[in-house]
Amino acid sequence: MNFNLKKIVCLTLFVVLGTVFISLTILNAKIDPNNEFAPHRRPPVMFLENYHDQHMENQDCLECHHKYETGKNILDAGDLEEGDLEILCASCHNNKVKYNLQRAYHRQCMGCHDRLSAANMKTGPILCGECHIKTKTG
């Protein structure tokens, strides 16, 4: 193989591999834009806020919803409006903060369930598989 043909083959291979790499990166960004839950070993949890609202007697919305400044929750419960995207956990908890979305959910949900269980109160699931339920397809 002459020198020019080797250069053309190498350049073509480089372009093809680069295109594949970029395509896979873009595809992953569309599936999980914040890369919050990769890699996962269990399926994601469907958080049922309405269920929690109905079953959490004497609980304040600010037990979960928060905006901390200098260690204090400064969020006003009156600012919480259904459908407001800015009150969703993912609006603040991303890969740019200490508690990304996965860590925030685990800390908040499991912490609350553990505290209620320790106080012998009715609580939600404690074990991983009780929230992250594997199905035949997932």
Q: Tell me, what's the pLDDT at 31?
A: 43
5-35 pLDDT, tens digit per residue, is 777 877 787 776 666 556 555 544 444 455 5
Q: What are phi and psi of 3, to 5 degrees?
A: -60, -45
Q: Tell me, what DSSP letter sits at residue 76?
A: -
- Asked which of 20-29, 39-48, 96-105 is least confident by mean pLDDT, the reply is 20-29
Domain boundaries, the chain: 1-31, 49-131
CATH superfamily of 49-131: Cytochrome C3 (3.90.10.10)
Q: Tell me, what's the pLDDT at 30?
A: 44
pTM, whole model, 2 decimals? Answer: 0.59
Q: What are phi and psi of 12, to 5 degrees?
A: -65, -45
> Tokens 């569309």 sit at which residue?
30
Instruction: Report the candidate in 46, 60, 57, 33 with the shortest Cα–Cα distance to residue 105.
Output: 46
Residue that wins the pLDDT comparison between 136 and 122: 122
